[in-house]
């Protein structure tokens, strides 16, 4: 699958599922009986994912599609590095939630399915899509055919809040 098709696949399957399932899981998380550590991990997860998804959908994925289809792109490598840090934090939240998922009730059925999808989503982006995008970006940099618009990314992501990882864990680089 070419990179533009892979980006569209992630958007059409994983992002669509996330937009649909996130509010349903959120309602379950706020029911009585959900233990506080699970609810807290969920809250951090939601904050991370909401900003992360906005950046991916409005800036990164359109740039990846454009790059894959040979169009001019902004240099989005710094944004990919931030998304990779986000993925590590999101993966840590999902790991905690896997451990704390209750054995009974509606959350025991829905949360593991949601977390499995999120883990697969993150894996595809971190291990396949983003490395391919960086490789294409590097080839495009060396090519005289491609014109970069490096300032465009900063303008496009000005609406996104700063990454939360420094607040989450001061040991991160």
The fraction of the chain above a pLDDT of 90, given in percent, is 57
CA-nearest of 139, 135, 124 to 6 is 124
Q: Tokens at residue 106, please?
A: 């509606």
Residue 93 has pLDDT above 60, yes or no: yes
pLDDT of residue 129: 95
Would you give the end-to-end CA distance of the chain in angstroms? 33
Domain ranges across the chain: 3-166
Give tens-digit pLDDT for 42-85: 999 999 999 899 999 998 999 999 988 888 787 788 888 889 89
Confidence band, pLDDT 50/70/90 cuts, at residue 170: very low
pLDDT of residue 149: 55
């Amino acid at each position: 699958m070419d990179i533009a098709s892979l980006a569209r696949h992630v958007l059409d399957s994983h992002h669509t599922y996330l937009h649909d399932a996130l509010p349903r899981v959120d309602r379950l998380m706020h029911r009585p009986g959900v233990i506080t550590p699970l609810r807290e991990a969920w809250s951090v997860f939601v904050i991370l994912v909401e900003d992360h998804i906005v950046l991916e959908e409005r800036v990164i994925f359109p740039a990846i599609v454009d790059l894959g289809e040979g169009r001019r792109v902004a240099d989005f490598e710094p944004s990919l590095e931030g998304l990779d840090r986000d993925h590590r934090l999101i993966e840590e939240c999902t790991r905690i939630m896997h451990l704390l998922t209750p054995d009974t009730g509606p959350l025991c059925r829905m949360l593991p399915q949601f977390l499995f999808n999120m883990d697969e989503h993150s894996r595809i982006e971190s291990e396949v899509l983003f490395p391919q995008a960086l490789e294409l970006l590097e080839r495009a940099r060396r090519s005289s055919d491609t014109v970069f618009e490096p300032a465009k990314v900063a303008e496009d992501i000005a609406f996104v809040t700063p990454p939360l990882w420094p607040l989450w864990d001061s040991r991160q680089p």
